A = this chain, B = another copy of it.
Protein backbone atom coordinates (compact mmCIF):
# COMPACT_ATOMS: atom_id res chain seq x y z
CA UNK A 1 0.00 0.00 0.00
CA UNK A 2 1.47 3.31 -1.05
CA UNK A 3 1.80 6.17 1.38
CA UNK A 4 -0.45 9.18 0.85
CA UNK A 5 0.87 12.75 0.95
CA UNK A 6 -1.12 15.94 1.46
CA UNK A 7 -0.13 19.60 1.31
CA UNK A 8 -1.72 21.65 4.10
CA UNK A 9 -4.28 24.14 2.77
CA UNK A 10 -3.62 26.59 5.60
CA UNK A 11 -2.90 27.04 9.29
CA UNK A 12 -5.24 27.17 12.30
CA UNK A 13 -4.43 29.91 14.82
CA UNK A 14 -5.85 29.49 18.32
CA UNK A 15 -5.16 30.92 21.79
CA UNK A 16 -3.41 27.64 22.71
CA UNK A 17 0.36 27.98 22.34
CA UNK A 18 0.91 24.52 23.83
CA UNK A 19 -1.15 21.42 24.38
CA UNK A 20 -1.14 21.40 28.17
CA UNK A 21 -4.34 22.99 29.49
CA UNK A 22 -6.17 22.85 26.15
CA UNK A 23 -9.72 21.56 25.76
CA UNK A 24 -9.56 17.92 24.69
CA UNK A 25 -12.39 18.20 22.16
CA UNK A 26 -14.09 20.99 20.24
CA UNK A 27 -17.13 20.46 22.49
CA UNK A 28 -14.87 21.46 25.40
CA UNK A 29 -13.58 24.54 23.58
CA UNK A 30 -17.00 26.18 23.47
CA UNK A 31 -16.71 29.89 22.89
CA UNK A 32 -12.95 29.83 22.28
CA UNK A 33 -12.17 31.76 19.12
CA UNK A 34 -9.60 30.98 16.48
CA UNK A 35 -8.81 31.70 12.88
CA UNK A 36 -7.97 29.76 9.76
CA UNK A 37 -5.42 31.36 7.50
CA UNK A 38 -6.14 29.66 4.20
CA UNK A 39 -3.50 29.70 1.49
CA UNK A 40 -4.64 32.46 -0.88
CA UNK A 41 -4.74 30.11 -3.89
CA UNK A 42 -7.71 28.26 -2.32
CA UNK A 43 -9.95 31.28 -1.66
CA UNK A 44 -12.20 30.51 -4.64
CA UNK A 45 -13.11 27.21 -2.94
CA UNK A 46 -14.70 29.12 -0.02
CA UNK A 47 -17.63 30.30 -2.16
CA UNK A 48 -20.99 29.39 -0.51
CA UNK A 49 -19.27 28.23 2.70
CA UNK A 50 -20.56 31.27 4.62
CA UNK A 51 -24.05 29.73 4.45
CA UNK A 52 -23.02 27.05 6.94
CA UNK A 53 -22.87 27.59 10.70
CA UNK A 54 -20.55 24.63 11.41
CA UNK A 55 -17.51 23.18 9.66
CA UNK A 56 -15.60 19.93 10.01
CA UNK A 57 -11.87 20.59 10.09
CA UNK A 58 -9.43 17.81 9.25
CA UNK A 59 -5.90 18.56 10.40
CA UNK A 60 -2.51 17.15 11.24
CA UNK A 61 -1.41 16.72 14.88
CA UNK A 62 1.97 18.18 14.03
CA UNK A 63 3.33 18.14 17.61
CA UNK A 64 2.64 14.45 18.14
CA UNK A 65 5.86 12.47 18.07
CA UNK A 66 4.97 9.14 19.60
CA UNK A 67 2.69 6.40 18.32
CA UNK A 68 1.05 3.92 20.69
CA UNK A 69 -1.39 1.09 20.07
CA UNK A 70 -2.61 1.24 23.67
CA UNK A 71 -3.08 4.55 25.51
CA UNK A 72 -4.64 5.79 28.74
CA UNK A 73 -7.04 8.52 27.59
CA UNK A 74 -7.59 11.87 29.34
CA UNK A 75 -11.08 10.73 30.33
CA UNK A 76 -10.11 7.39 31.84
CA UNK A 77 -7.60 5.57 34.04
CA UNK A 78 -7.62 2.33 32.08
CA UNK A 79 -5.36 1.63 29.07
CA UNK A 80 -7.46 1.42 25.88
CA UNK A 81 -6.79 0.43 22.30
CA UNK A 82 -5.81 3.63 20.51
CA UNK A 83 -8.53 3.26 17.85
CA UNK A 84 -11.11 3.24 20.67
CA UNK A 85 -9.87 6.67 21.77
CA UNK A 86 -9.61 10.16 20.33
CA UNK A 87 -5.98 10.47 21.48
CA UNK A 88 -3.62 12.01 18.90
CA UNK A 89 -1.20 9.07 19.04
CA UNK A 90 -2.91 7.01 16.33
CA UNK A 91 -0.66 5.47 13.66
CA UNK A 92 -1.69 8.41 11.43
CA UNK A 93 -1.94 11.58 13.51
CA UNK A 94 -5.07 13.05 11.90
CA UNK A 95 -7.47 15.18 13.91
CA UNK A 96 -11.09 16.11 13.21
CA UNK A 97 -13.06 18.84 14.96
CA UNK A 98 -16.40 20.44 14.26
CA UNK A 99 -16.20 24.20 14.83
CA UNK A 100 -18.53 27.15 14.45
CA UNK A 101 -17.96 29.47 11.49
CA UNK A 102 -18.34 33.14 12.46
CA UNK A 103 -17.17 35.00 9.35
CA UNK A 104 -15.08 34.73 6.22
CA UNK A 105 -12.88 37.68 5.24
CA UNK A 106 -10.77 37.01 2.19
CA UNK A 107 -8.58 34.03 3.05
CA UNK A 108 -9.30 34.26 6.80
CA UNK A 109 -12.05 32.26 8.48
CA UNK A 110 -13.03 33.39 11.96
CA UNK A 111 -14.07 30.29 13.91
CA UNK A 112 -15.22 29.36 17.42
CA UNK A 113 -15.13 26.24 19.63
CA UNK A 114 -11.53 25.40 18.80
CA UNK A 115 -9.56 22.61 20.45
CA UNK A 116 -6.29 22.54 18.53
CA UNK A 117 -2.89 24.06 19.26
CA UNK A 118 -2.00 27.24 17.39
CA UNK A 119 -0.07 26.58 14.19
CA UNK A 120 -1.89 23.34 13.38
CA UNK A 121 -1.61 22.49 9.65
CA UNK A 122 -5.08 22.26 8.14
CA UNK A 123 -5.74 19.52 5.58
CA UNK A 124 -9.41 19.99 4.70
CA UNK A 125 -12.63 21.90 5.40
CA UNK A 126 -16.06 20.31 4.93
CA UNK A 127 -19.52 21.61 5.80
CA UNK A 128 -21.01 19.87 8.86
CA UNK A 129 -24.37 18.42 7.84
CA UNK A 130 -26.39 16.40 10.38
CA UNK A 131 -28.11 14.45 7.57
CA UNK A 132 -24.64 13.15 6.65
CA UNK A 133 -22.83 13.16 9.96
CA UNK A 134 -25.23 12.56 12.82
CA UNK A 135 -25.92 9.09 14.20
CA UNK A 136 -27.57 7.84 17.36
CA UNK A 137 -25.21 5.19 18.71
CA UNK A 138 -26.59 2.43 20.91
CA UNK A 139 -23.20 1.75 22.49
CA UNK A 140 -20.38 4.09 23.49
CA UNK A 141 -18.00 1.59 25.09
CA UNK A 142 -15.76 2.97 27.81
CA UNK A 143 -16.97 6.50 26.96
CA UNK A 144 -20.50 5.65 28.10
CA UNK A 145 -19.63 6.95 31.55
CA UNK A 146 -16.57 9.08 30.85
CA UNK A 147 -17.95 11.09 27.89
CA UNK A 148 -19.84 13.54 30.07
CA UNK A 149 -16.55 14.82 31.51
CA UNK A 150 -15.35 16.09 28.12
CA UNK A 151 -16.41 19.68 28.63
CA UNK A 152 -14.40 20.14 31.80
CA UNK A 153 -11.35 17.98 31.17
CA UNK A 154 -8.19 19.71 29.96
CA UNK A 155 -5.15 18.19 28.32
CA UNK A 156 -2.04 17.39 30.32
CA UNK A 157 1.38 16.23 29.20
CA UNK A 158 0.57 12.58 28.64
CA UNK A 159 0.49 12.59 24.81
CA UNK A 160 3.80 13.57 23.24
* Chain A residues near B (Cβ < 8 Å): 1-9, 11, 25-27, 39, 42, 44-54, 56, 58, 60, 62, 69-70, 80-86, 90-92, 94, 96, 98, 100, 121, 123-144, 147-148, 150
Contact = CB atoms under 8 A, between A and B. Distances in A.
Chain A binding surface, main DSSP class? mixed
Nearest to A99: B135
A49 B48 CA distance: 37
12 contacts: A27-B132, A42-B69, A45-B82, A45-B90, A49-B81, A52-B84, A53-B137, A84-B127, A98-B133, A100-B135, A130-B137, A132-B150
A98 B143 CA distance: 17
Contacts of A7: 1, 3-4, 91-92
Contacts of A53: 137-140
Contacts of A136: 130
B141 A45 contact: no
A42 B69 CA distance: 7
Contact of A9 (B92, B96, B148): B92
